[in-house]
Structure 1
């Protein structure tokens, strides 16, 4: 398993990760992967084990009992437990993009799309608190696992790409430098708030944090943003 230390390792190992994945929708997304029915069954079973018993209870033997697939066949598809975990989080990143894009109205105004994006990021984090916390812990632990580093980088890039599309479609920017400053500033503010919300267990204050982000975003972008509340 990943080389982690102290409280970070203990926290990750005992996490209950609850994430419902629409595998069919995910495999059709750009940059995704094709999955056989056996792989989907293995991954779904792994999610159930992690959700009900914690990451520390995930083993090939337990996975075989849960899925009904023999241990040799599981190892044929996924040679290590790490490879299963990496696959799960690869798809959780794809699911985040699917969720966010589904909630973006391409016909809406720039101001509305900005708030739709912010709201979707908050809601995804709240709906998948354990997954979000896992990524935050992995980020702060400075994981050396190349695949996990790649997944973390892809998740950050996904959010950046969506912001860039919203900003470019607005036709508001004559300078790419100004556009980048606004995107990076907005992304940093939101990421910081989400990290605070999860790491300090302030999920009950999510709407207050959303309001704070809206006000800061208005100051950064020089626009008035609509008031949204989390569902």
Structure 2
């Protein structure tokens, strides 16, 4: 794409600015700052990725993935501020989901363990797991707050904390997985996915692009499922004290 074409396309930003100004939304400053930040960040990331993809070291690639995992865990932990130990729980959950998914793809020969393939794929997997875990934390917190009487009744009748919380855990896992499942149902019907569209725009055959998109869909579902499952089962006990009493 030519720079002149990109600059002309940037005029589309004016649509949002005009709409904000006419409706007195007072978002003009945020829009301009957001656009400038996006441009600067993407340019910087573009040059960094260009440098990273030139490095042929598996150790360096692994270290970079670990840094990505930590940042994602740090962000998802913010969604569960009231839950103790969410940082390490998030790291274990996202890390396990990413490791298992990437391992299967590499062993199957779908991708190779090289920076230019592993980094973009890991980024997609980690970011989706991060969002799923954030939803799980919110749902857990909400359900334990709204259903505390139900949980306490089960505890009073002699049930352990896991049987007392199992419905909340399942509901939270379901909440974390639901966006990924919903997006699968609308693939190719409501909208063409970003990766598939990008490959087609780059000149790849639509049939070949579909193969890659199917792979992406499967890996996102796998990682989201694993991460949601682990995050919920590792964090539900944090809502109880040492006496197995629900913390209000």
Give your verdict on TM over 0.5. no
TM-score w.r.t. the length of structure 2 is 0.28
TM-score w.r.t. the length of structure 1 is 0.30
